[in-house]
Structure 1
């Protein structure tokens, strides 16, 4: 996993900033280059993580003056349909998450067969090349999970509960597998991340039933907020940030978070397609470009908190 490195010079193209708009499949910038890029994710409505991904993509589209069309669906089959619709509409490039690679393989390969360059982001680091994507921007989730597991193991963790909030997600499964590799007593718990009340009640029941659970590991910031509501004595750590979880880290209610910098993922995915279409550039030199993992805790939260409030971190 250590062979994956952040390509030199990538950081130079990052420009902090954010904008937002609602709706699906709509043009989000004035097209001046003639390039139309479809940006397709498995976003669950209401998950603040995706606001950051989308803000990064929108900023890149504004900076590069391309026409960005954003769409999303948490259902794997419907996400595949969105990709196929982008192919049929003859966009110049497609950026997509690959959280369920088997379900998306047909539509991604249809894009490449049509001569449309595809880049992956956020999920699918081990599958993107097989599917035909040219580049990838995201975190190595196995490394991220292992890093988290090693840190809580050093703090004495014996029986962490790893909460998986989306069935079939290769990224979430990899995170928990990484935690378990460092803490063999890790137990996975499947919840419905689209229903916050159900997540909270499921966690309450599990923590009441098993008092040996010493850490709750949530795999997304909204799920961490559900875990706070569930109560209990187990320590809480999470993947990903939003403004609320960042404040809870500062307040000492969350031990730490692992940040994969979703704004950067969105920005680089769009920018890489623009540069590929314009110049044939390949960012990463055939390797994934890593945007994480990065620890956020009390030692650096004062620096990072203002950026979470701007929706850029």
Structure 2
């Protein structure tokens, strides 16, 4: 679709949102249906409790804007994600949003898309490298800032030794969260190898339990995933007979139940529905009105915190599928 058509579509959309009647369509090529726009959202997501909400946000944005959104996850397979991006360019994507936990793996595909004239944003992971991938902004939370804020929370609790288990060795975003924790935590912040932990949460719990048994000074765990928190860290602490303070990144029904019960102290909410939704909106505005929002900086959707103070409200929104 031409820029001229996109501009005409943007004008009609603005008038519609303002409650005004759109001008009669011209007989030349200045008018175009919104369905001619195809925004592709290609992530490393696995379709689980986190990514299903991000997908819902992206698809809702498409519905609200009247455009086509093609969402595909790659279940943490970076090669598959790169191939999906390449195929998307060939299949007519007008713009692409992609997560970037392993930026080098998708760099060639992203730069090829940029060379083909497609506007790009990164989402969820990639806040430090989005420019290197040809994107004009990143939508998500700064993972290091998220870790820094977690460190402050643990300081408030008076902890001395917090374990930071990393369940995906190649995921730079997880490493940044642990680095942020070390930036602000006044005690000892220790990275812990839990690679592949999401694939076998029982084995992850056993590994954490062994670490707790081997070191009595550990009094906190900063889980980087809600399932790791609720289904590995919490059972490990219970099996080890330890009363630990556990914080997590992201939410799940089990983690929220544990926050309500007081067995998990907090969850960092990066608000993934907004990541999916806003990525589509920003690309739509670029296509239709040449906007490059963000000012060359990331557009942050977090970190926010879910604690006992607001968990009931958040649980209601989770039930509705938007948190």
Shorter-normalised TM range: 0.7 to 0.9
8 Å contact kept, 1:48–1:222: no
Shift of the 118–67 alpha-carbon distance from structure 1 to 2, 3 Å rule, reads: same
User: Comparing both structures, which one devotes a greater share of its residues to helix?
Assistant: 2
Q: Which whole-Å CA distance do the structure 2 matches of 1:190 and 1:82 have between them?
A: 29
Aligned partner of 1:194 among 199, 208, 211: 199
TM-score, normalised by the number of residues in structure 1 = 0.86
Deviates more, 1:35-44 or 1:181-190: 181-190
How far is 1:90 from its partner? 2.5
Aligned residues: 282
**2:147 alignment counterpart:** 145
Greater relative contact order (Cα < 8 A, sep 6+) = 1
Asked if residue 228 in structure 1 is aligned to residue 234 in structure 2, the reply is yes
Cα deviations by residue, 1:244-301 (Å, 9 ceiling, x for unpaired):
2122111111101111100000000011111111111222222211111111111222
Question: Which residue does 2:250 correspond to in 1?
Answer: 240
Deviation at 1:32, TM superposition (A): 4.1
The 8 Å contact of residues 282 and 293 in structure 2, kept in 1 or not, is answered as yes
Q: CA RMSD in A?
A: 1.5
In the alignment, structure 1 residue 306 sits paired with structure 2 residue 316: yes
Worse-matched range after superposition: 100-109 or 75-84: 75-84
Q: Secondary structure at the match of 1:124?
A: coil
SS at match of 1:307: helix
Comparing 74-83 with 261-270, greater Cα deviation is found at: 74-83
Deviation at 1:303, TM superposition (A): 2.1
1:125 shift after superposition:
0.4
Q: Distance in 2 between matches of 1:130 and 1:39?
A: 18
- TM-score after normalising by structure 2: 0.84
Is the aligned partner of 1:208 residue 2:213?
A: yes
Residue 137 of structure 1, CA deviation: 0.6
Any stretches of 5+ residues in structure 2 without a counterpart? 1-32
Corresponding residue for residue 75 of structure 1: 77
Match of 2:10 in 1: none
Which has the higher Rg, Structure 1 or Structure 2? 2
Secondary structure of 1:33's counterpart equals helix
Q: Distance in 1 between matches of 2:318 and 2:256?
A: 7
Counterparts of 2:59 and 2:254, CA distance in 1: 23
**2:87 partner SS:** helix
Matched with 2:16 is none
1:164-183 equivalences under 5 Å are 164-183=166-185
Deviates more, 1:84-93 or 1:253-262: 84-93
Instruction: State the 1:135 CA deviation.
Output: 1.9
Q: Is the 8 A contact 2:230 2:258 kept in 1?
A: no
Q: Does 1:294 align with 2:297?
A: no
Whole-angstrom CA distance in 1 between matches of 2:300 and 2:316: 23
**In 2, Cα distance between the equivalents of 1:305 and 1:199?**
26
Maintained 8 Å contact 2:42/2:99: yes
Partner of 1:117: 119
Secondary structure class of the residue paired with 2:188: coil
Does residue 88 (structure 1) correspond to residue 98 (structure 2)? The answer is: no
State the secondary structure of the residue aligned to 1:284: coil
Q: How far is 1:97 from its partner?
A: 0.2
